[in-house]
Structure formats: structure tokens, C-alpha cells
């Protein structure tokens, strides 16, 4: 499974975030739950030196976003707007951290290939 892009999350966020019934969670909550599971599985594969710093921040932020989305889904008015705005900012932070971890992984792979060739 590949992670959704930030733009994809935003459109799901804006189009499908209304709760029609309390028995069914909004689509975004289901999508974000899947994304969080994906992040946790990927963090488990990080090198030890990155797992406890960058990996933990990614997981914590993903769980914080899930909390904001739950609060926003079942709130109204200004509270809903504030929770969803907070979630949107944290999604952007997560996206940027994810890019940083991919860059580090590519640098580690390049360094390993250089050492193997030497």
C-alpha cells in the first residue's frame, strides 16, 4: 500500500467529511486509519537510529491527526473548523517529515552502494 499524497487527503477531507449517520464514520477517518496503520508498519522498518526519533514523531503526529479528525467529525461550528484546520496543518507536517525520511533512506542506500563498490 502506498501513502496518499497530501492533495489527495485534502480533497477527501473537504468532500467527504460530513457525518450522515453516527453509526458510520466519515470516509476520511477510515482513510486516515489505513494511513496510520501504513505509517506504523513503515516505521518498524526504519533503521534503529531513525526509528526512535523521526519514526516516533511520524507515528505520534499521525495519531494526533486522527484525534483531531475524530473531534472534528463529531463537532459543530467553530470547534469543527478549528479541529479540521489543526488536522490539515499536521497532515502537511507529516507529509514533509515523510519526504525527509525518504531522502535519508535514499542517501543511506547511495552510501551503502558506494561502500559496496569500493
Res 63: pLDDT: 93
Burial of 105 (0-12, 13-18, 19+ CB in 10 A): middle
Give the pLDDT confidence of 42-81 residue by residue, as tens digits.
Answer: 888 888 888 888 888 889 999 999 999 999 988 889 999 9
pTM metric for this prediction: 0.64
Q: Is residue 106 pLDDT above 70, yes or no? A: no
Confidence grade of residue 11 (pLDDT, cut at 50, 70, 90): very low
With contact defined as beta carbons under 8 Å apart, do 71 and 82 qualify? no
Q: Which pLDDT belongs to residue 24? A: 77
- Per-residue pLDDT tens digits for 74-103: 888 999 999 999 999 999 888 887 776 665
Grouping H, G, I as helix, E, B as strand and the rest as coil, residue 75 is coil
Q: Is the pLDDT of residue 114 over 80?
A: no
In sequence order, what are the residues at sequence separation of 6 or more whose Cβ sits closer than 8 angstroms to the Cβ of residue 18? 26
pLDDT at residue number 39: 87
Amino acid at each position: 500500500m502506498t501513502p496518499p499524497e497530501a492533495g489527495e487527503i485534502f480533497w477527501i477531507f473537504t468532500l467527504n467529511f460530513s457525518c450522515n449517520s453516527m453509526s458510520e464514520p466519515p470516509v476520511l477517518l477510515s482513510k486516515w486509519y489505513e494511513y496510520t496503520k501504513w505509517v506504523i508498519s513503515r516505521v518498524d522498518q526504519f533503521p534503529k537510529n531513525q526509528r526512535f526519533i523521526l519514526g516516533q514523531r511520524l507515528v505520534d503526529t499521525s495519531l494526533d491527526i486522527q484525534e483531531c479528525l475524530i473531534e472534528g467529525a463529531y463537532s459543530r461550528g467553530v470547534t469543527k473548523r478549528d479541529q479540521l484546520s489543526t488536522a490539515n496543518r499536521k497532515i502537511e507536517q507529516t507529509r514533509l517529515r515523510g519526504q525527509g525520511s525518504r531522502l535519508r533512506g535514499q542517501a543511506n542506500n547511495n552510501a551503502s552502494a558506494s561502500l559496496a563498490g569500493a
